[in-house]
Chain A
Amino acid sequence: AQSVTQLDSHVSVSEGTPVLLRCNYSSSYSPSLFWYVQHPNKGLQLLLKYTSAATLVKGINGFEAEFKKSETSFHLTKPSAHMSDAAEYFCVVSDLTRDTGNQFYFGTGTSLTVIP
């Protein structure tokens, strides 16, 4: 079975400094991986997805994530935090099976605070 671990429940950075949100997954084969962002009282918005075409994935709003199979990690980064980046971030792994179709497994989320 797939599982996802977000290593930090809360991260706090100063505006203009780098952001690192950590995600580790467990999978017996090549996974599909996603990062989502959620602003208060809103749904989840897709930031980026790993499709196995490239290990470094670029997403929206300047975010990137690097897939490292040897470390089973998919950490999310951004060079310079902006106040509007303050939100909850979710790492998700999906599993496609013949019987059940697409199954999605969510991390517990990382709350990002950006200090002015």
Chain B
Amino acid sequence: DGGITQSPKYLFRKEGQNVTLSCEQNLNHDAMYWYRQDPGQGLRLIYYSQIVNDFQKGDIAEGYSVSREKKESFPLTVTSAQKNPTAFYLCASSIVKVGNQPQHFGDGTRLSIL
């Protein structure tokens, strides 16, 4: 079955440490997205990528970095510059340049500070 796989499901970060969240999709979608979800605040866009080797900042990109070396993969690094990283992180993908196409989501990674 096609879908999006996020790993790990739970992740703990020590102060001053960078951590990387994995997102892999086998839907052959060009676009991939990273969202942060905090309680009662809905989803906020961190980064998105419409094509391999290109990505754009979303609304809350500070303290995060991404890469898009392969179509299937869009890893997110939470750097030590992100002072409040505790949240639920969701990865999504979608078809590009076709209207009425929804996003498909992974099951998320919950990041906590040790």
CB of B9, distance to nearest CB on chain A (Å): 8
Q: Determine whether the beta carbon of B42 is less than 8 Å from that of A43.
A: no
Q: Which of A32, A43, A94 contacts B106 (CB 8 A)?
A: A43
Contact with A along B75-104 (1 / 0, CB 8 A): 000000000000010101011111111111
Q: Determine whether the beta carbon of A46 is less than 8 Å from that of B110.
A: no
Q: Determine whether the beta carbon of B90 is less than 8 Å from that of A107.
A: no
Q: Determine whether the beta carbon of A43 is less than 8 Å from that of B41.
A: no
Q: Determine whether the beta carbon of B107 is less than 8 Å from that of A43.
A: yes
CB of A53, distance to nearest CB on chain B (Å): 9
User: Closest B-chain residue to A44, C-beta based?
Assistant: B105
Q: Determine whether the beta carbon of B110 is less than 8 Å from that of A101.
A: no
User: Closest A-chain residue to B50, C-beta based?
Assistant: A101
A interface with B by C-beta (< 8 Å): 9, 32, 34, 36, 41-46, 49-52, 90, 92, 94, 96, 100-102, 104, 106-109
Q: A96-B97, A100-B56, A104-B94 are in contact. List 5 more A-B contacts (CB 8 A).
A: A41-B108, A42-B107, A43-B106, A50-B100, A102-B95
B interface with A by C-beta (< 8 Å): 4, 6, 30-31, 33, 40-43, 50, 56, 88, 90, 92, 94-108, 110
